[in-house]
Amino acid sequence: MSDKQELAQWKQIGMLAQMRQLHIGDVVSARFFTETGEVSALQVKTEIIYHSQKDSHAWRAELANAINVHVPLVKVGSYSAKGWVFGSGAQPVMAHIHSGITHLKLEFKCKMQPKKSVDRRPEYDHVFPQAQHSYRQGTRVWHAPSKRCYRCKPWPFTEYCRNSSPQFEPDSGALWQVAWEVM
């Protein structure tokens, strides 16, 4: 099927263009509607659990990927010879012409961010590198030399948190950002 024939099977139902910064604990949901109301089974959510997701491009890309994978009747991005591609900036949201989907709504559930005390350290599970062999996704460690707290990234990066090589030591190792994120 040519690109033109493929695109003829889709209609634009909205834009993924929000340029808002989110915070840890916030949730953004994409809700899809037909002329008769919401199709709740197609709802897709993305929860912000890592600092790297807070930027508007990051959470939009994650939400677009979730929609493209889990809602086959809806696609976010542009169609090319490589298939559906999510680019930078505002992206069209397309629904298959036979889906009955007419529009989408984004819903944001934002948690209030508590003010951090200047003299209080964040909570942590271990002082790095104590019990390094037991680090798992989400393990929080205090790194005394940098006076910062770090969280172990999810699989497949978790294995690097357990790696005792100096390359993966938070803040100072050459590859520390592969395994850790600053809390």
**Model pLDDT, residue 100:** 94
Statement to judge: residues 85 and 133 lie in one domain: no
List helix spans (H) across 17-162. 56-70, 158-162
CB atoms within 10 A of CB 154: 12
In a domain, 169, yes or no: yes
Statement to judge: residues 144 and 95 lie in one domain: no
**Model pLDDT, residue 42:** 93
pLDDT at 142 over 80: yes
143, 52 contact by CB (below 8 A): no
**3-class DSSP state for residue 177?**
helix
Statement to judge: residues 13 and 52 lie in one domain: yes
Q: Among 18, 33, 23, which residue's Cα sits nearest to residue 110?
A: 23
Distant-in-sequence, close-in-space partners of 96: CB < 8 Å, separation ≥ 6: 9, 10, 73, 74
In a domain, 118, yes or no: no
Among 109, 134, 163, the domain-final residue is 109
Residue 50 CB-density burial (10 A; 0-12 exposed, 13-18 middle, 19+ buried): middle
**3-class DSSP state for residue 160?**
helix
Statement to judge: residues 91 and 131 lie in one domain: no
Average pLDDT over residues 66-93: 85
**Model pLDDT, residue 53:** 87
The whole-angstrom distance between residue 161's C-alpha and the CA centroid of its chain comes to 20
170, 148 contact by CB (below 8 A): yes
Query: Which percentage of the chain shows pLDDT scores above 90?
Result: 30
Statement to judge: residues 105 and 145 lie in one domain: no
Q: Which two tokens stand for residue 20?
A: 């808002």
Instruction: Say how far apart CA 92 and CA 96 lie, in whole Å.
Output: 13
Statement to judge: residues 90 and 7 lie in one domain: yes
Statement to judge: residues 97 and 156 lie in one domain: no
Among 109, 144, 171, the domain-final residue is 109
Statement to judge: residues 35 and 79 lie in one domain: yes
In a domain, 18, yes or no: yes
In a domain, 25, yes or no: yes
Backbone φ and ψ of 44, nearest 5°: -125, 135
**Model pLDDT, residue 94:** 92
Number of domains present in the structure of the chain: 2
Statement to judge: residues 42 and 98 lie in one domain: yes
Q: Which two tokens stand for residue 24?
A: 């840890």
Statement to judge: residues 37 and 92 lie in one domain: yes
pLDDT tens digits along 111-137: 765 555 555 556 888 889 888 888 988
Q: 42 vs 27, 28, 112, CA distance in Å?
A: 16, 14, 28
Statement to judge: residues 15 and 100 lie in one domain: yes
Strands 44-47 and 140-143: unpaired
pLDDT tens digits along 28-53: 999 999 999 999 999 999 999 888 88
- The residue range of the domain holding 19 is 3-109
